[in-house]
Amino acid sequence: MHQRLRIDHGLVFSTETVRLALKMLDPEGVERRSQHKLKRRTYSAKGPNFIWHLDGYDKLKPFGLCVHGAIDGYSRRILWLEVGASNNNPRIVARYFLDCVKQLGGVPQIAHGDRGTENV
């Protein structure tokens, strides 16, 4: 939370101030996190090809390897896992998507990607 405030909103507070504010605002959440008893959200998809989850992996970028992949939310089937020279170019990521659509013969109702730089 400390970094998120600083990076996303430009607010600078000490770690201790953020910790105390969180403890005051969300004591139950702080207690659950300290006991390692997080309540996970339940996940469900209506059926195959209802939602596809897309993401990239940038940690290997300094070595010239950009990994991008997608899975079906219902079956957890890997739809594609590609390694290329760039995953920031929307044309490359779109090509992966279109190739998968051609191969499967259909599109998902929802394509979900995080707000990272690789999913423009």
Structural domain boundaries in the chain: 2-34, 51-113
Q: What percentage of residues in the chain have a pLDDT greater than 70? A: 95
pLDDT at 18 over 60: yes
- Phi-psi bin for 101: left (phi > 0), alpha (psi -120 to 50), beta? alpha
Residue 37 is predicted with a pLDDT of: 76
pTM for this prediction: 0.65
pLDDT per position as a tens digit, 27-74 = 998 888 888 877 788 888 999 999 999 998 888 888 989 899 999 999
Which residue has 């990994």 as its token pair?
67
Query: What average pLDDT does this structure show over 62-87?
Result: 91
